[in-house]
Amino acid sequence: MAEDRRIRKTRAALRDALVALVLERGFTALSVGDIIQRADVARVTFYSHFRDKDELFARVTADMLADLGTRLRPAMEENAVGFTGRPVLEMLRHAREERDLYRIVLRGEGDGKPLRMFAEACTEVAREEFRSRTERNDVKPRIDPALLARVWVGEQIAVLQWWVEQGTAPTPAEDVVRMLLDLALRGRYWATGFDSPV
Which tens digit of pLDDT belongs to each residue from 119-134? Answer: 999 999 888 888 888 8
Same domain, 135 and 74: yes
- pLDDT tens column, 45-60: 999 999 999 999 999 9
183 pLDDT exceeds 90? no
176 pLDDT exceeds 70? yes
Same domain, 109 and 39: no
Same domain, 69 and 99: yes
Please indicate, yes or no, if residue 196 is contained in any of the structural domains.
no
152, 133 contact by CB (below 8 A): no
Task: Show the domain range for 19.
Answer: 1-50
Count of the separate structural domains present in the chain: 2
Question: Which residues contact residue 62 at a Cβ distance below 8 angstroms, ignoring those fewer than 6 apart?
Answer: 117
Which CATH number goes with the domain that contains 23?
1.10.10.60
2 pLDDT exceeds 70? no
Same domain, 172 and 79: yes
Phi, psi of 196 (to 5 degrees): -60, 135
Which CATH number goes with the domain that contains 164?
1.10.357.10
Please give the Cα distance from 20 to 32 (Å, whole number). 14
Per-residue pLDDT, 145 = 85
Same domain, 103 and 134: yes
- pLDDT bucket at 80, cuts 50 / 70 / 90: low
Please give the Cα distance from 68 to 23 (Å, whole number). 21
Per-residue pLDDT, 78 = 65
Please indicate, yes or no, if residue 167 is contained in any of the structural domains.
yes
Same domain, 57 and 46: no
Same domain, 14 and 62: no
Residue type, 16: D
Per-residue pLDDT, 184 = 82
The domain boundary residue, chosen from 50, 65, 90: 50
Per-residue pLDDT, 15 = 97
Please indicate, yes or no, if residue 194 is contained in any of the structural domains.
no
